[in-house]
Amino acid sequence: MKSIFRPLVIASLIAAVANQVIYIVATEALNIEFLLNTTPPSAIPWLAPASFTVFQGVAGGAVVAWVATRTKSPRNTWLAISLVALALSFTPGFLAVAEVSTALWLNAMHLVAGALIIPMVAQALPTAATLSANSVNAAENEPTAAPKTKKRIRKTPTPAKKTP
């Protein structure tokens, strides 16, 4: 798990910086207002993109990577789960903000985070599950015929032969 956690943290930190730059460019250069769809509308805090990227990247990524390592194909499991989660992450962006342009910027940040985190962790995961040192050969884990049991033969004492 340690070999997976390092690339996950590095990718999350890089994604956080990239998302913070996107947020600054959108708010300062393009005058996009990041307002939540609340009454009254509240602004998304200045460091929220970076902090949410790191938290969600590390926490969510660690959980998914842990699940992936318990399957026969960790890399494929990671890719399937994380790509579905990335696709599902687009919906709240449209529901939580007041303007469509803001939702598009938030979804762009999701794409940037996914484009950085998903491949880095996938590269750290094995393509097939490896057996631990405590486990037995894979061939022995395969289901086989029912084990043969030894029948206990109860030996009864035979009467001694009488000699004349």
Q: Which of 34, 83, 76 is nearest to 60 (CA)?
A: 83
Distance CA 129, CA 127 (A): 7
Say which amino acid occupies 24.
Answer: I
Report strand pairing: 35-36 vs 42-43. antiparallel
Distance CA 45, CA 131 (A): 46
- Taking only the tens place, the pLDDT of each residue in 78-134 is 899 889 989 998 887 778 787 888 889 999 999 999 999 999 888 888 887 664 433
pLDDT, average across residues 33-56: 87
pTM assigned to the model: 0.70
Residue 102's Cα: distance from chain center in Å? 27
On whether the CB atoms of residues 57 and 85 are closer than 8 A, the answer is no
* Averaged confidence pLDDT in the chain: 80
DSSP 8-state code for residue 97: B
| pLDDT over 70 at 1, yes or no | no
**What pLDDT does 153 receive?**
67
